Amino acid sequence: MEVREEVHLKVEEKYSPPAHIVEKAWVKDYESLYQESIKDREAFWAKVAEELHWFKKWDKVLEWNYPYAKWFVNGKTNITYNCLDRHVQAGKRNKVAYIFVDEDGREKKITYGELLELVNRIANGLKSLGVRKGDRVSIYMPNTIEAIACMLACARIGAIHSVVFAGFSEGALRLRIEDAKAKVLLTASYTKRRGKKIDLFATAQRAIDGLGFVEKVVVWDRDGDVLNGSGGLFVSFDELIKNSSPNCEPVEMDAEDPLFILYTSGTTGKPKGVLHTTGGYMVGTYFTTKITFDLHEDDIYWCTADIGWITGHSYIVYGPLACGATSVITEGAPDYPDPGRWWSYVEKYRVNVFYTAPTAIRMFMRYGEQWPAKYDLSSLRILGSVGEPINPEAWHWYHKHIGRENCAIVDTWWQTETGMHMITTIPAYPAKPGKAGKPYFGIEVAVVDSQGKELPPNTVGNLVIKTPWPSMLRTCWGEPERYEKYWNTIPGYYLAGDLATYDEEGYIMILGRADDVLNVAGHRIGTMEVESAIVDHPAVAEAAVIGKPHEIKGESIKAFVILKKGVEPTDHLKEEIKQHVRQILGAIAVPDEIKFVEKLPKTRSGKIMRRVLKAQELGLPVGDISTLED
């Protein structure tokens, strides 16, 4: 990865958080805690770990045999004990753990006491089906309380869960079940999206066809109408829990025992099974949930992700439960039955902390601020962003129209592989729109060239992590060589695969994936920079850019642009957008071609799949598109 000398996109504004946020914050002084956390990393993480329950304390905080780490060595714990029993025993049995709302606005609440009982019943049911510690269980279910309980039930008995997003098709599901060699599959009859039932059971049946190692399929038959003719392979979820005891002792897990496998798509080849373990992951997600979102006892928290992604694992399930939070979860589309759906829930449940993706924010920008304006959003205190860099225009819209200029925005950079937040600004610390912020406590990052040489400010290079952290992936399931590649591509560093730059104050800006970088006439330009400049034009809702081979410049830029509702797509507008980009970034970044489109190919977690656009444009095979939304 060669290096470009300067960053074109200047983001210089700085927003200090309102006084009421600083006053309430768990951490008021980022700098001194950060210095303390890297001066003695092990002491820092040990102190955090001591806030949680251990059956047996660790002998050693970290054992680092590059590139393999063991955290809280020989410590014994169970993550579900920390997420459930600990709170019930502290008198919070009747505190609400989740408020679930479906597309029709029907709600279901479950308390910590009820959730513990449900988890125990499922855990006992799994044991009765022969599931033991170390066995893999695939979960293909909608974003519901039942699915969360299934994840926790696996963790309770030491089985390794592998959640597959319920939007995936049978091919993607089969590949993941086969790779993990799942003994049991947990699924549901259907999920609902935009008022339509999407049949999960039929997909699950096709996916396991001929996979002899799958011993049982447990089906949550939501309307009681799919299981009537099914044979011995299929087991009713409701029957299973009805016939099981509500008491199940948590298995004492070693800190390094596997907790789950989650598949993440690489740029090439089949998805990688990222393996997370019990102790370090628990400590990392607990701490970051509490500190990034400044989560307090009476807060109502809402992360809009899906349990099928790492954001759902870390910041819907394990982090919030370890903190004893009350969370909102929803099934279905954010803008159905209308674009006010999410904001009506913020008003109804008095949500204090709201965590979503830039893609969703840009979608709501397109609908216009009249939608959030209809609702009372005054309960909001912290707004989070996750999944991709947030462009300054979306940041400002979020700050103004959702936060009413009275909230802190935390722009979190992290990955499936990191398990927890790695770069952000904590609520009490000033934020810069478009920049993720500073390294997290205990985390040391750098921007380096391809030889691993650290680069000066305002220079684009590879984002690397210099030292191990508790919630890091331990391997790629069955493919240790893919794990080692993270650490040996630039020896001594964990290579994130993202390009970044930092300013004189140490604020880090993520410029997108290293493979999403344009090279125009020898100038390296991040796709995110060009897209931000295009989206900055008042007529534009969303944009994606790709590089095309060009005989003179090496690459030329083609932009695919979605216009805001009611805007006419004209050639004059194309020229106007080009001028706008020229103004912001200079001539080098101006797209040679602009194509107006109705939608962009996205993964189900909302990331734009530029390689699909590029492949289609160049007439190449599109490769693995199992994560494509439609």
Q: What is the DSSP letter of 54?
A: -
Residue 551 has pLDDT above 80, yes or no: no
Of 605 and 522, more confident: 605
Question: Within the chain, what is the greatest distance between any pair of CA atoms?
Answer: 72
pLDDT of residue 230: 60
Residue 132 has pLDDT above 60, yes or no: yes
For the domain made up of 79-91+105-251, give the CATH fold: Rossmann fold (3.40.50)
Q: How would residue 244 be classed by pLDDT, with cut points 50, 70 and 90?
A: very high
pLDDT of residue 231: 66
pLDDT of residue 5: 42
Q: How would residue 267 be classed by pLDDT, with cut points 50, 70 and 90?
A: very low
Distance of CA 249 to the CA centre of its chain: 31
Residue 35, Cβ neighbours under 10 Å: how many?
11
**Domain 19-78+257-512, CATH 2.60.120.200 — does that match?**
no
Q: Count the alpha carbons within 13 Å of 168 in the hemisphere toward its beta carbon.
A: 32
Domains 19-78+257-512 and 521-618 share a fold: no
Q: How far is it, in rounded angstroms, from Cα 356 to Cα 376?
A: 18
Q: How would residue 570 be classed by pLDDT, with cut points 50, 70 and 90?
A: very high
Q: Report residue 603 as tokens.
A: 């993964």
Q: How far is it, in rounded angstroms, from Cα 533 to Cα 612?
A: 22
456 cis-preceded (ω within 30 degrees of 0): no
Residue 266 has pLDDT above 80, yes or no: no
Q: How would residue 203 be classed by pLDDT, with cut points 50, 70 and 90?
A: very high
Cite the DSSP H helix spans in 442-599. Answer: 480-488, 527-535, 571-585
Q: How far is it, in rounded angstroms, from Cα 415 to Cα 3?
A: 23
CA-nearest of 28, 60, 62, 25 to 284 is: 62
Residue 466 has pLDDT above 80, yes or no: yes
Residue 114 has pLDDT above 90, yes or no: yes
Position 210, amino acid? G
pLDDT tens digit sequence for 73-93: 999 999 999 999 999 999 999
Position 261, amino acid? I
Q: How far is it, in rounded angstroms, from Cα 236 to Cα 230?
A: 10
Q: Evaluate whether 528 touches 494 at the Cβ level (below 8 Å).
A: no
pLDDT tens digit sequence for 573-599: 999 999 999 888 778 889 999 999 999
Residue 9 has pLDDT above 60, yes or no: no
Contacts of 177 (CB under 8 A, 6+ apart): 138, 162, 164, 185, 207, 208, 211, 214
* % of the chain beyond a pLDDT of 70: 96
Q: How far is it, in rounded angstroms, from Cα 124 to Cα 154?
A: 10
pLDDT tens digit sequence for 312-365: 999 999 999 999 999 999 999 999 999 999 999 999 999 999 999 988 998 999
Contacts of 71 (CB under 8 A, 6+ apart): 45, 61, 62, 255, 256, 277, 279, 280, 283, 468, 470
- C-alpha distance from residue 105 to each of 90, 316, 338, 371, 416 (Å): 32, 20, 12, 17, 31
pLDDT of residue 3: 44
pLDDT of residue 621: 80
The interaxial angle of helices 527-535 and 571-585, nearest 10 deg, is 120
Arithmetic mean of pLDDT, 414-435: 97
pLDDT of residue 513: 78
For 287, list phi and psi in degrees, rounded to 5. -65, -45
Q: What is the DSSP letter of 65?
A: E
337 cis-preceded (ω within 30 degrees of 0): yes
To the nearest whole number, what is the mean pLDDT of the chain?
94
Looking up tokens 């949930």 gives 289
pLDDT of residue 596: 98
Q: How far is it, in rounded angstroms, from Cα 597 to Cα 428?
A: 40
Superfamily of domain 521-618 in the CATH hierarchy? ANL, C-terminal domain (3.30.300.30)
- C-alpha distance from residue 484 to each of 329, 381, 461, 476 (Å): 36, 40, 21, 9
Return the sign of the alpha-carbon dihedral for residues 237, 239, 244, 247: positive
Is the pTM for the entire model greater than 0.85? yes
Of 37 and 624, more confident: 37
Arithmetic mean of pLDDT, 114-130: 99
DSSP SS3 for 432: coil
Residue 143 has pLDDT above 80, yes or no: yes
Return the sign of the alpha-carbon dihedral for residues 616, 198, 111, 372: positive
Domain boundaries, the chain: 19-78+257-512, 79-91+105-251, 521-618
pLDDT tens digit sequence for 366-411: 999 999 999 999 999 999 999 888 989 999 999 999 999 999 999 9
Q: What is the DSSP letter of 456?
A: P
Position 409, amino acid? I
Q: Evaluate whether 300 touches 349 at the Cβ level (below 8 Å).
A: yes
pLDDT of residue 385: 97
Q: Evaluate whether 286 touches 53 at the Cβ level (below 8 Å).
A: no
Q: How far is it, in rounded angstroms, from Cα 471 to Cα 521?
A: 41
Residue 6 has pLDDT above 50, yes or no: no
> For the ranges 96-100, 394-398, 474-478, 600-604, which has the lowest average pLDDT?
600-604
pLDDT of residue 383: 99
Q: How would residue 1 be classed by pLDDT, with cut points 50, 70 and 90?
A: very low
Q: Evaluate whether 68 touches 488 at the Cβ level (below 8 Å).
A: no
595 bridge partner residues = 560
Q: How far is it, in rounded angstroms, from Cα 547 to Cα 610?
A: 10
